[in-house]
């Protein structure tokens, strides 16, 4: 049985074999005051090596491992049942999958898989853990959303939809949970440099995209992909930055519901709420991609200038 012990908070994190989840697990498990007992979960425990190495001497002390597939009812139930008294103070829903490309070339099954992980996987976890938190009148649920949970991004249509879905679910749940003293926080990173992102960019550049017309494939490969690589280079954060932001949210006495981690994205979100018709966002993104694509570096500089201090205060900083 995994167990908390002492005054330590028990934190269960999904999708810890790589990327952001791994860094959150290590940062909390290596907390200098040993305030956390981390239950780091992953689908396949054979993929534990990177995490175990990064955790160092915290492994087996403040960090234990459990198998968990967020897409399986049985796996989720078995995992939570194996936690001592099913007591989880903080649940970090990090597991997620991406999907990029013209919608015409994506099968309905591929789309459903994204929703099965990013939306239903998170809902499944919350359903399993929330009743005990409500009973105890204590707990904190964290959801790794994305800036794409707030603003649609071309050629990320299905991924964006899955993150919008979980934003809507959580925005509704947060009100009820407040009555039970259970906190709910979304973390909304912009681009983050992970192996996942590099692999996805390389793969999409090679793929054929059957079903999509030649113009669409050309816009995707020759316009969107290069711009996207520029954006990752100019604005990308490290998984460690997101881990630090998440720790801050966990440690806040009054955590915010929404937590953008990258202040360069605040103008984008502000623009969305500045025009309720949606026209400003749609036309700005159109111009950025199709009219000023070659000036992307300059556009990035403008974006940096736009992030004045008042907007910065709306984000959570890793420092
Ligand atoms: P990643 O691929 O390194 O991490 C995702 C993890 O989820 C992996 O360890 C994967 O094995 C796990 N996972 C996938 N399906 C699972 C399942 N059914 N059950 C359990 N685990 C499963 O990528 P990452 O960038 O670290 O992503 C972590 C989270 O951050 C995701 O929710 C992602 O949507 C979000 N995010 C990422 C970025 C980015 O640019 N990388 C930006 C914003 C938000």
pLDDT digits (tens, 9 = 90+) for 191-218: 999 876 777 777 887 888 999 999 999 9
Report whether residue 18 contacts ligand 1, using a CB cutoff of 6 Å: yes
Cα–Cα distance, 160 to 147 (Å, whole number): 9
Task: Quote the ligand 1 centre to 267 CA distance (angstroms).
Answer: 25
Could you tell me the strand order of the sheet in which 139-144 lies? Answer: 63-67, 36-42, 9-13, 90-93, 139-144, 182-188, 258-260
Q: What is the CA radius of gyration of the chain?
A: 20
Indicate the pairing of strand 182-188 with strand 139-144: parallel
Cα–Cα distance, 12 to 72 (Å, whole number): 17
For the CA of 93, the closest atom of ligand 1 is 32
Could you give the residue numbers annotated as active site?
Answer: 159
Q: Which CATH architecture group holds 9-262? A: 3-Layer(aba) Sandwich (3.40)
Residues annotated within the binding site for substrate are 146
Mean pLDDT, all residues of the chain = 91
Q: What pLDDT does residue 6 have?
A: 53
pTM of the model: 0.94
Taking residues 154-175, report their average pLDDT.
98
Sequence-ordered list of residues with C-beta below 8 angstroms from that of 230, at least 6 positions apart, any chain:
296, 297, 300
Quote the tokens at residue 33: 């005051």
Query: 4 versus 95: which is more confidently predicted?
Result: 95
What are the pLDDT digits (tens) for 244-298?
999 999 999 999 999 999 988 888 889 889 999 999 999 988 888 888 765 555 5
Q: What pLDDT does residue 311 have?
A: 54
For the CA of 71, the closest atom of ligand 1 is 18
* CB atoms inside a 10 Å sphere around CB 276: 8
What are the pLDDT digits (tens) for 117-148?
999 999 999 999 999 999 999 999 999 999 99
The closest residue, in CA terms, to atom 33 on ligand 1 is 96
Provide the CB-side half-sphere exposure for 267 (13 A, CA). Answer: 14
Report whether residue 149 contacts ligand 1, using a CB cutoff of 6 Å: no
What are the pLDDT digits (tens) for 218-234?
999 999 988 888 888 88
* CB atoms inside a 10 Å sphere around CB 42: 24
């Amino acid at each position: 049985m995994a167990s908390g012990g002492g005054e330590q908070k028990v934190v269960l994190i999904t999708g810890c074999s790589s990327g952001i989840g791994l860094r959150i697990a290590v940062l909390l498990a290596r907390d200098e005051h040993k305030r956390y007992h981390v239950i780091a979960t992953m689908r396949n425990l054979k993929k534990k090596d990177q995490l175990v190495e990064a955790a160092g001497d915290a492994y087996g002390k403040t960090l234990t491992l459990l198998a968990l597939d967020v897409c399986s009812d049985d796996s989720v139930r078995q995992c939570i049942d194996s936690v001592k008294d099913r007591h989880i103070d903080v649940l970090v829903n990090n597991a997620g999958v991406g999907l990029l490309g013209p919608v015409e070339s994506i099968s309905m099954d591929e789309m459903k898989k994204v929703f099965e992980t990013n939306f239903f996987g998170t809902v499944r976890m919350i359903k399993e853990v929330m009743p005990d938190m409500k009973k105890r009148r204590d707990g904190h649920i964290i959801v790794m959303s994305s800036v794409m949970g707030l603003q649609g991004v071309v050629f990320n249509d299905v991924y964006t939809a899955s993150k919008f879905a979980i934003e809507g679910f959580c925005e509704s749940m947060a009100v009820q949970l407040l009555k039970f003293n259970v906190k709910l926080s979304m973390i909304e990173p912009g681009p983050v440099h992970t192996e996942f992102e590099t692999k996805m960019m390389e793969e999409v550049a090679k793929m054929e995209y059957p079903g999509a017309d030649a113009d669409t494939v050309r816009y995707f490969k020759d316009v969107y992909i290069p711009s996207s690589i520029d954006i990752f280079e100019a604005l990308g954060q490290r998984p460690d930055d997101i881990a630090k932001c998440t720790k801050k949210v966990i440690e806040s006495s009054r955590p915010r519901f929404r937590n953008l981690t990258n202040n360069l994205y605040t103008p984008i979100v502000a623009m969305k709420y500045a025009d309720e018709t949606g026209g400003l966002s749609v036309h700005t993104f159109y111009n950025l991609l199709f009219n000023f694509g070659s000036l992307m570096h300059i556009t990035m500089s403008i974006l940096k200038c736009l992030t004045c201090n008042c907007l910065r205060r709306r984000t959570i900083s890793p420092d």
